[in-house]
Amino acid sequence: MASSQSSQKEIVTAAILVIGDEILSGRTKDKNLVYMADRLNEIGIQLHEARIIPDMQEEIVEAVNACRAKYDYVFTTGGIGPTHDDITADSIAAAFNADIDFHPKAMEILTRHYEISGIEFNDARKRMARIPSGATLIENPVSKAPGFQKENVFVMAGVPIIMQAMFESIADRLHGGAKMLSRTLGASLPEGKIAARLGELQKKYPSVSMGSYPYFKQGDVGTNLVLRSIEEADLNAAFNELSDHLDSEGVVISETT
């Protein structure tokens, strides 16, 4: 059986919650999902779901609780700044039924930061030091106000440059499983023509997930066939069989990334 080894490999899964009215209104384009999808993949964590939700505590609580029970990791972005609409920390505390208060280390970091900058450390800015009890801080090398980790939930900023820096500061804490490997075959044919054969191949190689993505470029119709698996041998065998089949049918093919 092609998939005989699959069950021995560890699958680690994650969800991302993008918190912010500005994404749902179309005003701001999210740039964090693609970054996280790539980085999680490199670490061996499979992104299974992403949700974009509004700045509303009940929505955040519901999504966090649904996802933290279902996946190994949950990453949130957005809503941890100094203004009244930054309600992520309170919402996470509510989701965990945990207290929230000024975190001594976060206060120390911010006090020092504003001292050095000569900027007033006012009440609004102090809100950024409010962290649910039992959480660990996530370093923010860019603008100092920290994110935090509460159990399997990682709370990060929404501004992409800060989110990325925060993610890199926690990457070492994440435990990856089997890496999802991927090979893509570009074929100069409409997907309807390869569908039957691809379906047969999918049955033959259950450990390989086969996706078919048509494209239309300047009048050219083609299909990208994406094969993904945590089993390298199965992946290569399936890829070669598909490639040989298309080749024998005279289809122009090329491996793409």
Residue ranges in contact with its own copies by CB under 8 A: 21-22, 24-29, 33-34, 37-38, 41, 47-55, 59, 81-86, 119-120, 122-125, 127, 159, 161, 180, 182, 184, 190-196, 198-199, 202, 209-216, 226, 228
Closer CB to its own copies, residue 48 or residue 139? 48
Closer CB to its own copies, residue 80 or residue 138? 80
Closer CB to its own copies, residue 3 or residue 182? 182
Rounded to the nearest whole angstrom, what is the least distance from the CB of residue 37 to its own copies in the complex?
A: 3
Closer CB to its own copies, residue 203 or residue 248? 203
Rounded to the nearest whole angstrom, what is the least distance from the CB of residue 123 to its own copies in the complex?
A: 7
Which two tokens mark 173? 């804490």
Single-letter residue type at 253: I
Rounded to the nearest whole angstrom, what is the least distance from the CB of residue 134 to its own copies in the complex?
A: 27
Q: Are 114 and 125 a contacting pair, CB within 8 Å?
A: yes
* 156 class by beta-carbon count within 10 Å (0-12 exposed, 13-18 middle, 19+ buried): buried
Q: Are 81 and 164 a contacting pair, CB within 8 Å?
A: no
Rounded to the nearest whole angstrom, what is the least distance from the CB of residue 256 to its own copies in the complex?
A: 10
Rounded Cα distance between 255 and 100, Å, is 52
Rounded to the nearest whole angstrom, what is the least distance from the CB of residue 242 to its own copies in the complex?
A: 13
Closer CB to its own copies, residue 111 or residue 136? 111
In 87-107, which positions are buried (b, 16+ CB within 10 angstroms) versus exposed (e)? bbbbbbbbbbeeebeebeebb
| DSSP secondary structure, 97-138, as one string | T--EEE-HHHHHHHHHHHHHHT----HHHHGGGEEETT-EEE
